[in-house]
Amino acid sequence: MKLIYEKSQPGRRASHIPRPEGLPRPELPDALRRSAPPRLPEVPEFELIRHFTELSTRNFGVDTGFYPLGSCTMKYNPRINERLAALPGFARLHPLQDEAGAQGALELMWRLQEILAEVTGLDAVSLQPAAGSQGELTGLMLVRAYFDALGQSEQRRKVVIPDTAHGTNPASVTMAGYELTPVRTDARGNIDVDDLRGKVDEHTAALMLTNPSTLGLFDENIEEIGRIFHGAGALMYYDGANLNAVCGISRPGDMGFDIVHINLHKTFSQPHGGGGPGGGPIAVRRTLEPYLPVPAVIRRQDGTFAYDFDRPQTIGKVRGYAGPFGVFVRSYAFLRMWGPRLREMSEVAVLNANYVLARLKEAYDLPFDRLCMHEFVLSARSLKREHGITALDVAKRLMDYGFHPPTIYFPLIVPEALMVEPTETETKETLDAFCDAMLAIAREAAEEPELLKEAPHDRPVRRLDEVRAAKQPVVKYAFEQHPELDAEPRPVAAEAPKGV
């Protein structure tokens, strides 16, 4: 399909800009005036809509079908959320509006903070971080501020992270100026507590842990882990990527964690938009509250809501204003439609995952044979050994059956990993259809391996050459190779629609 730049013709346009008459026309200094216009597309409005509609037909979302992408919690995103976030009282509200003119927005944020504190079992919440990884970085900044105040920040330089962690954890450690201490996973899929004991001491600042882990397993030794860290005077950070497993069932604060981030775009239904936006609020124990980002959203004695900038020990700001407010509206709406029934959400997410696991574990390798939480990790290592079929081949073949593939090759400790997260919002018929497809693919691997090697067959493109893309990066349109686009308007050649 053509790029929008290849549909452009000089002189066409969709916009009409007000041009009030009789106004002053200030001259810009020559050195500051634009010398050559940007080559933005020139198309009429209906071509714009057709272009982006065609692009959308070449994309797959939760609204299109089953999307069991492990660790991403691709659940249904309620449409009411979109209607609410678009209300003019929210969408056209300026972030620097006087507090008196933003009471409804402030109240919504305060109420969301209260709900998140209850769900995580912690005392204070900052909604500011823009995504999970920014929540992590903010959490590590809080750790530093906490030990600064204790006069221990020079001494405590290490952050402990298990080998199953998301890549964001170690990357956040570096950005926060800390050093990484990796810890192994044991034969049951828990943190190796013996390995851990030797690595936690007076130089340790914190643990970063996802629980349930990226293996989809709840760490059975979580209480002992808490004793080890708190006994050494260190803090515990909870990566909330997998919170969908335990809402109303087990709270990070009760597990011993001091800082938690919540992925609003996973657990609480902010649509992921093809890559974002997200929301990564953090919840903390009372002892860490003084260091939270400013402004804090508070309720005053008289019942009105306000920003509190007067936090002398704050780490500062990690993002503009008070955070991604439109995301708060959507997640607040979602949480209010669940209320205390949130536990049922997690129960069904875990039930669905265990059902799919039970149906698939004979056909694929299961590295840790336990009941899973909201997701599980299979391995295609036997398929690879016996038939030369990799996790990538399985993933691509699933597309032919109309499903988005699971997460593959993660976590890193499982070879040929296939990480499946069905979420709570699926019918049993869909789960069964997915299981049937996975079982059929396992048979095809033995009988017709070329079907898998050549997959996908029906998508808008075949497998793409990623090595070529990285070796000779082409990261923007090469106008200079298409000089005709600068020429006078000419008749546009019709392009036969693909697949018709």
Identify residues 103-142 at the interface with another protein (CB under 8 A): 103-105, 107-108, 115, 118-119, 121, 130-134, 136-137, 140-141
Compute how many residues bind another protein; rule: CB under 8 A. Answer: 205
Comparing CB distances to another protein, the nearer of 151 and 473 is: 473
Choose which of 191, 207, 234, 329 interacts with another protein (CB under 8 A).
329
The CA–CA distances, whole Å, from 156 to 42, 104, 149, 151, 221 equal 57, 42, 12, 10, 24
Q: Show the site string, 20-59: x = touches another protein by CB under 8 A, - = not.
A: x--xxxx-xx-xxxxxxxxxxxxx-x--xx-xxx-xxxxx
Q: At what angle do helices 428-447 and 391-400 cross, to 10 degrees?
A: 120
Identify residues 199-238 at the interface with another protein (CB under 8 A): 217-218, 220, 222-223
Strands 282-284 and 124-126: antiparallel
Residue reference for tokens 């192994």: 184
Comparing CB distances to another protein, the nearer of 191 and 395 is: 395
Phi, psi dihedrals of residue 204, rounded to the nearest 5°: -85, 130
Could you tell me the two tokens for 205? Answer: 């600042």
**Distance between CA atoms of 164 and 210, rounded to whole angstroms?**
9
Identify residues 373-392 at the interface with another protein (CB under 8 A): 373
Pick left, alpha or beta for residue 485 (phi over 0 → left; psi -120 to 50 → alpha; otherwise beta).
alpha
Q: Show the site string, 333-372: x = touches another protein by CB under 8 A, - = not.
A: x-xxxxxxxxxxx-xx-xxx-xx-xxx----------xx-
Least gap, CB of 496 to another protein (angstroms): 14
Beta-bridge mates of residue 161: 182
Identify residues 144-183 at the interface with another protein (CB under 8 A): 144, 166-168, 170-177, 180
Least gap, CB of 105 to another protein (angstroms): 5
Least gap, CB of 4 to another protein (angstroms): 5
465 binds another protein (CB under 8 A): yes
Identify residues 409-438 at the interface with another protein (CB under 8 A): 410, 424-428
Q: Show the site string, 258-287: x = touches another protein by CB under 8 A, - = not.
A: -----x-x-----xxxxxxxxx--------
Q: Which residues contact 363 (CB under 8 A, 6 or more apart)?
A: 438, 439, 442
Mark out the alpha helices in 122-212 (DSSP H runs). Answer: 132-149, 168-175, 193-197
Could you tell me the two tokens for 327? Answer: 């995301």
Least gap, CB of 231 to another protein (angstroms): 16
Identify residues 242-261 at the interface with another protein (CB under 8 A): 246-251, 254-256
**Distance between CA atoms of 122 and 177, rounded to whole angstroms?**
26
Choose which of 18, 231, 303, 491 interacts with another protein (CB under 8 A).
18
Comparing CB distances to another protein, the nearer of 64 and 386 is: 64
What distance lies between CA 308 and its chain's CA centroid?
A: 29
Residue 128's H or E segment, with its range, is none
